[in-house]
Amino acid sequence: MAAVRKKLEKSFLYVLFFATASALPALLRKPPKHEWAFAYIWNAATNILLDKIAVKKGWVAYPTRLFPRLFSIHVLFDTLLYPTATVIYNQMTYKEKFLPSLYKVFFFSIPLTAIEIWADRYTGLIRWGTAWKWYHSLISVSVKSWWTRGAVEMYGRWWKRNGRRSDAKLQGR
């Protein structure tokens, strides 16, 4: 029974992988492309670092994950699912002031936390350590999304000042 459950969970992860991977190119096509690419890469890189810490400290574990021999982290969530959600959040709040973007993050962090609660209780996809509760996930995803948005905004300002000149230099103009 446990082997069948694990196989179903792995199949579920592969479906998520293919669904998200197929949607991502359309999201990254919307201008300004460089900012969405930056948001994606920044989020994925920082997710990997933070998740490694969380796993090492025993706050979370991922009994069923893709590539378990290579990674102790949830590589699918860290490098594809959450970065894609972050790109969508950044696109939704691109022209907005700080306060509206502050509350809109909860349109993403609340469902992600609800899914994580379900996964912890009913699947082998994630296990929270005794020191980790649902509100830690809500707070960490919300703060991490705001942090990424701030980084994207700083990158966008830098790009407006320096990016176009750098492109011209690269092209030999």
What's the first-to-final CA gap in the chain, in angstroms?
Answer: 65
Could you tell me the pLDDT band of residue 2, with boundaries at 50, 70 and 90?
confident
Q: How does the average pLDDT of the chain come out, rounded?
A: 92
What would the pLDDT profile of 56-102 be if each residue is shown by its tens digit? Answer: 999 999 999 999 999 999 999 999 999 999 999 999 999 998 889 99
Q: Does residue 172 carry a pLDDT above 70?
A: no
Q: What is the mean predicted confidence (pLDDT) over 116-145?
A: 96
Sequence letter at residue 115: I
In the chain, the percentage of residues whose pLDDT exceeds 70 is 94
List the beta bridge partners of residue 61: 127
pLDDT confidence of residue 164: 63
Beta strands in the chain (DSSP E): 60-61, 127-128
Q: Does residue 166 carry a pLDDT above 70?
A: no
pLDDT confidence of residue 98: 84
Could you tell me the pLDDT band of residue 25, with boundaries at 50, 70 and 90?
very high
Separation between Cα atoms, residue 145 and residue 164, nearest integer Å: 27
pTM above 0.85, yes or no: yes
Q: What is the mean predicted confidence (pLDDT) over 14-36?
A: 95
- For residue 127, the surrounding DSSP H or E stretch is strand 127-128
Q: What is the mean predicted confidence (pLDDT) over 114-122?
A: 96
Sign (positive or negative) of CA dihedral 120, 124, 126, 132: positive
Lowest mean pLDDT among 34-48, 51-65, 90-104, 106-120: 90-104
pLDDT confidence of residue 169: 55
pLDDT confidence of residue 75: 96
